[in-house]
């Protein structure tokens, strides 16, 4: 089902399930809501709201003003509008689940508007030391990557499959298709990082927050990041490290991801734990 009872924004949004405990799924950079198809099936017992972020998928492109120096403020504002619309419909205890860019946006919303959410799941947000963050941005030229899929989609998908053999074909193709849709104004990952330092955002969180990362070298939340999180000493933040997973924790090890996220969602939404829907 597409659309919401009260359209809060011009974003492309799909909604699944009946009104009730609601989970808002926020994808990462270069992706779109399509990459959540497996989670939508698994979490069929919840109402799931799945937007394409601005500049991604079927959502509107960014203006020059929105894209520079960072698109994070407009992306955070978009999610706030979605949550305000849900609150107007009576949904008062929503959970934000985000990956990478989406996790950063979710954390920003959690810090700014904790009244709108009950909990956060942050899958490998860009929480890393400044120097590493600069290198990550410079090493990820979005348009060059996207152009590979535009030029020869099947060849690029085959290369992606070799790089990520654990990914399902559904995830491979949905992520690859989404990559071709990226806004031309988005040149690198740094354009979607919030202005507020992530450590300040982490310290400001007051809602129950599950920070999920993996054990591979390409995780943005690595051991140094985890030491910084520990130093912040925010009791609202729990940490789960999933084995055999890199930056795309859910893609790399779906069962490992769900083994820590599903119980957290059930607790946050006051739902009994039950076998997943496939």
**Position 2 pLDDT exceeds 50:** no
Do the domain assignments include residue 143? Answer: yes
CATH of the domain at 27: 3.40.50.1820
Instruction: Give how far Cα 182 sits from Cα of 29, 58, 152, Å.
Output: 9, 10, 16
Domain assignment of residue 100, given as a range: 13-268
Other beta carbons less than 10 A from residue 206's beta carbon: 12
Least confident stretch, 130-134, 169-173, 177-181, 211-215? 130-134
Is the model's pLDDT at 26 over the cut of 50?
A: yes
User: Does a structural domain hold residue 275?
Assistant: no
- Residue of 149, 155, 141, 135 lying closest to 218 (CA atoms): 135
156-183 burial code (b ≥16 CB/10 A, e <16): bbeebeeebeebeeebbbbbbbbbebbb
pLDDT for the residue 94: 92
172 lies in a domain?
yes
Q: Is residue 208 part of a domain?
A: yes
Long-range CB contacts (within 8 A, 24+) of 251-259: 251/164, 251/166, 251/167, 251/168, 251/171, 251/175, 252/164, 252/166, 252/167, 252/214, 252/216, 253/166, 253/214, 254/38, 257/123, 257/212, 258/42
CA distance 180 to 33: 14
User: What token pair was written down for 233?
Assistant: 């000493």
**Strand locations in 69-208, DSSP E?**
94-99, 117-123
Cross-strand pairs, 240: 212
- Looking at the domain assignment, is residue 211 inside a domain? yes
Distance CA 135, CA 90 (A): 43
- 59: tokens are 């959502």
Q: Is residue 207 part of a domain?
A: yes
Give per-residue pLDDT as tens, 241-266. Answer: 999 999 999 999 999 999 999 999 99
Instruction: Average the pLDDT over 213-237 and give the result.
Output: 94
At 100 the pLDDT is 95
Beta strands in 143-222 (DSSP E): 209-214
- Whether residue 1 is contained in a domain is answered as no
Q: How far apart are CA 13 and CA 24, in angstroms?
A: 10
Q: For residue 276, what pLDDT is reported?
A: 46
Cα torsion angle, 6, 9, 12, 16, sign: negative
pLDDT at 103 over 70: yes
Q: Higher pLDDT residue, 11 or 92? A: 11
Q: What is the mean pLDDT of residues 117-146?
A: 81
Average pLDDT over residues 159-174: 95
pLDDT for res 68: 84
What phi and psi, each to the nearest 5 degrees, are found at residue 227?
A: -65, -40
Residue 164 backbone phi and psi in degrees, to 5: -130, 75
Cβ atoms 194, 133 nearer than 8 A = no
Across the range 228-235, mean pLDDT stands at 96
pLDDT digits (tens, 9 = 90+) for 176-222: 999 999 999 998 888 888 888 999 999 999 999 999 999 998 899 99
Write phi, then psi, for 33 (nearest 5 degrees): -60, -20
Report the percentage of the chain scoring pLDDT > 70: 90
Task: Give me the number of domains the chain comprises.
Answer: 1
The segment with the largest mean pLDDT, out of 14-18, 35-39, 196-200, is: 35-39
pLDDT tens-place string over residues 43-80: 999 999 999 999 999 999 999 999 888 899 999 999 99
5 pLDDT above the threshold of 90: no
Q: Are 235 and 243 in contact (CB under 8 A)?
A: no
The three-class DSSP label of residue 226 is helix
Q: What is the distance between the alpha carbons of residues 192 and 188, in angstroms, rounded to a whole number? A: 8
Give the global pTM: 0.93
Selected residue with higher pLDDT from 1 and 20: 20
Cβ–Cβ < 8 Å for 106, 120: yes
pLDDT the model gives residue 138: 59
The pLDDT value given to residue 243: 97
The beta strand positions in the chain, using DSSP E, are 13-16, 22-26, 47-51, 94-99, 117-123, 209-214, 237-242
* pLDDT recorded at residue 99: 98
- Residue 130 inside a domain? The answer is yes
């Amino acid at each position: 089902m597409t659309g919401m009872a009260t359209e809060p924004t011009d974003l492309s949004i799909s909604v699944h399930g009946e009104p009730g405990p609601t989970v808002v799924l926020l994808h990462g950079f270069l992706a779109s809501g399509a990459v959540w198809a497996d989670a939508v099936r698994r979490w069929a017992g919840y109402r799931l709201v799945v937007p394409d972020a601005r500049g991604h998928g079927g959502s509107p492109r960014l203006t020059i003003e929105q894209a520079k120096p960072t698109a994070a403020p407009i992306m955070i504002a978009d999610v706030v509008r979605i949550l305000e619309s849900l609150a107007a419909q009576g949904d008062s205890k929503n959970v934000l689940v985000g990956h990478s860019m989406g996790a950063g946006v979710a954390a920003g919303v959690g810090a700014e508007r904790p009244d709108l959410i009950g909990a956060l799941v942050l899958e490998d947000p860009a929480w890393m030391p400044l120097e590493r963050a600069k290198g990550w941005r410079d090493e990820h030229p979005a348009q060059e990557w996207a152009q590979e899929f535009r030029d020869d989609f099947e060849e690029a998908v085959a290369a992606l499959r070799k790089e990520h053999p654990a990914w399902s074909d559904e995830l491979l193709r949905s992520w690859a298709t989404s990559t071709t849709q990226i806004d031309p104004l988005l040149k690198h990952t740094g354009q979607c990082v919030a202005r507020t330092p992530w450590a300040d955002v982490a310290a400001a969180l007051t809602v129950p927050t599950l920070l999920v990362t993996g054990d591979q070298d390409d995780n943005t939340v690595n051991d140094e990041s985890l030491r910084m999180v520990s130093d912040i000493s925010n009791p609202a933040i729990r940490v789960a490290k999933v084995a055999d997973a890199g930056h795309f924790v859910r893609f790399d090890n779906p069962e490992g991801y769900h083994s820590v996220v599903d119980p957290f969602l059930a607790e946050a939404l006051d739902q009994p734990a039950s076998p997943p829907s496939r």
